[in-house]
A and B are shown apart, each in its own frame.
Chain A
Amino acid sequence: MGMSYNEKVIEYFKNPKNVGTLEEPDGYAKEGSPACGDMVSLYLKVDDETREITDIKFESYGCASNIATGSIITEMAKGKTIEEAKEITWQEAAEELGGLPDLKTHCSVLAVDALREAIRNYEERQGIGEEKRETTQEVVEERLTHVMNPMKGRDVMKTGLIDSVEVEDGSITVNVALESDHQFASAIKEDIEEKLEPRWDVEKVVVRFVGG
């Protein structure tokens, strides 16, 4: 762990690009909430013919890595088609920024999620979005790739932090391979709940710490 913000991150933090809102956006998303920390709002204008993102703006209530990622991701998405923009990952955004401190990657994921959600919102308005998916074990595992392991700076799935996942009748149990009094236990728990609770068919999320 370690490493602080590099110059590029600081530069974007000081002078973020594409800040603001758009009147009558074609796509809009608000990810995160002030209650759980960071929040990003993202606005899109999309050419209905070419499906190209013609304008994009964001606002951030967040830390430096959140602001910098919001800025870089809007620059990366501008001019791309929505299909291309959907493929942008937070790893790519972080790379474009010359790297982010491991501990901070979770703040940057929010900006990427906001972009994807804004595109989904556009698709829904256009009637081209996919159907509401049922929350299966696979879906849960996919969502968990958006939860960071702050010790590694990569997601909890890839870093083997998830012991197992159980999905039953709208109730999800996530077993985390950590002790419950670990330094990051409550931050990770909060992050997992945040990613799963908003799903339409999820009633209960239980995060259990089963030891490393």
Chain B
Amino acid sequence: MKEETIYLDNAASTKVDERVMEAMEPYMLETYAVATSDFAYSMGIEAKEALNSAREKIADRLKGDSEEMIFTSGGTESSNLALKGAAEKLLEKEGKDHIVISKIEDFPVLNTAKVLEKKGFEVTYLDVDQEGFVDIEQLEGSLKDETILVSIQHANQEIGTLQDIEKIAEICEDHDVLYHADATHTFGRVPLDVSKIPVDMITLSSHTIHGPRGIGALYVREGTPLKKQMDGGFQENNLRAGVENIPAAVGFGKAVELIDEEENERLEEMRDRLIEGISSKIPDTVLNGPRKKRTPQNANITFQYVEGESITLHLDMRGIAVSTGSACFSKSLEASHVILGIGGDHERAHGSVRFTLGRFNDEEQVKKVIEEAAEVIERLREISPLGKGGE
């Protein structure tokens, strides 16, 4: 057996917390009924109460109402429901056909927008600056009478950039346009208060905060026009059919409960140590994304003159799991659209490595990662024809 893996790919998914597992188990083995109405048998009523209690915990974190929280199968489904649901509803009702998203959205939003585009909707893809911030003026200029919705993420999946969500929401409200934010990488980690910020829909994920996979949620502000995408029964406020995944919902609720400010501060400290350690110990690195306005768990660094898949493979052999924006690493052989979107070239994408922290990482691990990365990069640079003065 290898030594325990130092897992730094927590933006992809996280280890489920054992306390989450414990909270879920009774809803598979003991209280396994579906959520029934208040007039049915007691096990079903108990199940329903558990479901609603989880819903409340999640809604509370956003300062929203639990009635506004729709459980889905995950962030991908949530974003599909938000974009397709609003687009179809407002095309039907008001003949509107325009959507605005940022260029660096994660695939659930990006590819859903592309599907809608194919169906005839007009989509504006907003530029971002070198740190990944959306061009606010371009956003304002893009809005028109036909605009249904703006979908701009709270934070970026690769480079951690935290958008000025308050400003974006205000602009959308002023123009009477719906605003959806993908908060997959911020929920629990960065505060977001829907009682103060007029966001209409928010995509939430469980498995990025040590909860189970197969569950997510969409916050839908009361009165938001939305067409159901999954047809069947009348569950989830008649917005998402299907027998509720109560054990997973309970796990999601527990996962939210387990996150506290102290943990987020600890992640931020480790993140800073990682960024500072790497950039002081290894020459020719570039930090991708802003230094301060980024999620507490994300560090993304380009190591010049070397390729990301080679870096991740070497780190893996040393028991460290990270990901890269290199084309060689991806299933489509395409370089990261995020790094290209912030004006980076292919070279910057190819040498980029994303380190994302979670609850089970500690300072010792961060120290080890800095040391191992320094060795790996030095070794790969010895093999590389680049960066030796001749180029």
Residues of A whose CB lies within 8 Å of any CB of B are 5, 10, 13-14, 16, 19, 30, 34-41, 59-64, 66-67, 103-104, 106-107, 150, 181, 183-184, 186-187
Contact = CB atoms under 8 A, between A and B. Distances in A.
A195 to B, nearest CB: 15
B1 interface: no
A210 to B, nearest CB: 18
Contacts of B7: none
Contacts of A66: 307, 328
B328 A37 contact: yes
Candidate in B313, B317, B326, B335 with the most chain A CB atoms within 10 angstroms? B313
A183 B332 CA distance: 6
B114 A181 contact: yes
B61 to A, nearest CB: 36
13 contacts: A5-B313, A10-B317, A16-B383, A34-B347, A35-B345, A35-B347, A37-B328, A39-B385, A61-B384, A67-B383, A103-B331, A107-B328, A187-B333
Contact of A183 (B114, B331, B347): B331
Nearest to B306: A61
Interface of B: 114, 118, 305-307, 309-310, 313-314, 317, 326-329, 331-335, 345-347, 350, 382-386
A187 B334 contact: yes
Given A63-B309, A103-B331, 7 more contacts: A14-B317, A37-B327, A38-B307, A63-B310, A106-B333, A187-B332, A187-B333
B385 A60 contact: yes
Contacts of A36: 346
A203 to B, nearest CB: 23
A187 B346 CA distance: 12
B332 A19 contact: no
A39 B384 CA distance: 9
A187 B337 CA distance: 13
Contacts of A106: 333
Nearest to B313: A64
Contact of B327 (A30, A39, A60, A187): A187
B385 A63 contact: no
A16 B386 CA distance: 17
Contact of B328 (A13, A30, A38, A40): A38
Contact of A35 (B114, B346, B385): B346
B347 to A, nearest CB: 4
Contacts of A10: 313, 317
B383 A63 contact: no
Contact of A30 (B307, B334, B382, B385): B385
Contacts of A181: 114, 118
Nearest to A35: B346
A59 B332 contact: no
Nearest to B347: A34
Given A19-B383, A34-B386, A37-B327, A64 B333 contact: no
Contact of B385 (A61, A103, A183, A184): A61
B260 to A, nearest CB: 39
